[in-house]
Amino acid sequence: MADDPSGWLHVPAPAKLNLFLHITGQRDDGYHNLQTLFQFIDRCDELSFRLRDDDQLTLEPQVDGVAFEDNLIIRAARALQQIGLQQHGNLPGADIRLKKILPMGGGLGGGSSDAATTLLTLNALWQLQLSFNELADIGLRLGADVPVFVRGQAAFAEGVGEQLTPTPQLDEPWYLVVVPQVHVNTGKIFSNKCLTRDTEIINIRTALRREGNNDCQAVVSTLYPEVGKALNLLNNFSHAKLTGTGACIFSSFGSEAEAIRVSDQLPAEYVSFVAKGVNTSPAHKILFRPS
Ligand SMILES: C[C@@](CO)(OP(=O)(O)O)[C@H](O)COP(=O)(O)OP(=O)(O)OC[C@H]1O[C@@H](n2ccc(N)nc2=O)[C@H](O)[C@@H]1O
Ligand SMILES: Nc1ncnc2c1ncn2[C@@H]1O[C@H](COP(=O)(O)OP(=O)(O)O)[C@@H](O)[C@H]1O
């Protein structure tokens, strides 16, 4: 583990991309059934953990606009602490530091990934020995995208994103990710009457063979014209797609140099970054690397 002499354990929380996102139906509780392909990228929030002498949880710095108890890091830690207390009777608290790199509400899953890294790391530090299945179940209660980050493998996902089949065979290209400066409200997209909800269900072989679309893209582009504009611009260079419910869009490239060359040609007002697609979560690479 990435330990340092001061007792802090440093573990990344990577972003994900939805390489496609199909909406195949709607459940009785209003939630939508999806089929999607998740891949991680090596762009990460940076978390650090240290056990305390008392039983408190702290988080520094706080995330702007997110109350301490609402932060997915604290919600994940509390959920695990509760189980740990039942198992062990008492548990030390933890200091947690967060360097927020990933844009919030961008469809990159940063909050979900922070939650998953917290579950994985505190499970190890508190020696709870919960399985990935148990941690993924706890994570699912925090958000539909948490389980894929807990399991740490690129995956074909069904249900609301919790039924996962690993896809280690995916290519690992370089991505140029453009970050339109708008915050997309996921609920607003899923409740829009123009959203299509009847994409045919495909099997994993088909999913891996053909390039799917993002069914949210048309609605997001209409409600948030900045996203449509960024898609049009990036499409001039390479096929561009929305991730999740946006606002971020991405294109894939065979090399880092190619992706940087395109990013250098974007007008200065566009925020973007280049990252590598990876089929194993960088958090798993740190926490579970052979010693
Ligand atoms: C669609 C994805 C794909 O990765 O989008 P991103 O969040 O990454 O953009 C996620 O699964 C998003 O999952 P999650 O993060 O749990 O969604 P939330 O923000 O909690 O959803 C807000 C609201 O959207 C609706 N919602 C969400 C997910 C879903 N499968 N069906 C829905 O109808 C619900 O009304 C929910 O209350
Ligand atoms: N640690 C966290 N990091 C980011 N967002 C968080 C966090 N904790 C709670 N949130 C809330 O979750 C929302 C969705 O965050 P995020 O996962 O970054 O976006 P998305 O679901 O679009 O990929 C944020 O707008 C914020 O209100």
Domain ranges of the chain: 1-291
Q: Which class is 1-291 in CATH? A: alpha beta
- pTM for the model: 0.96
The kind and range of the H/E element at 135 are helix 132-140
Find the ligand nearest to 72 CA.
2
- Our answer on whether the CB atom of 257 is closer than 6 Å to any ligand 2 atom is no
* Residue-by-residue pLDDT tens, the chain, 291 positions: 556 767 899 999 999 999 999 999 999 999 999 999 999 999 999 999 999 999 999 999 999 999 999 999 999 999 999 999 998 888 999 999 999 999 998 999 999 999 999 999 999 999 999 999 999 999 999 999 999 999 999 999 999 988 999 999 999 999 999 999 999 999 999 999 999 999 999 999 999 998 889 999 999 999 999 999 999 999 999 999 999 999 999 999 999 999 999 999 999 999 999 999 999 999 999 999 876
109 is in an annotated binding site: yes
ipTM score assigned to the predicted complex = 0.96
Written as six digits, the tokens of 270 are 């566009």
- Our answer on whether the CB atom of 217 is closer than 6 Å to any ligand 1 atom is no
Rounded to whole angstroms, the Cα distance separating 263 from 248 reads: 14
Distance 290 CA to ligand 2 centre (A): 31
SS (H, E, C) 190-237: HCCCCCCCCCCCCCHHHHHHCCCCECCHHHHHHHCHHHHHHHHHHHCC
Cα torsion 222, 226, 232, 233 to 10°: value is 180
Nearest to 119 by CA among 140, 150, 96, 94: 150
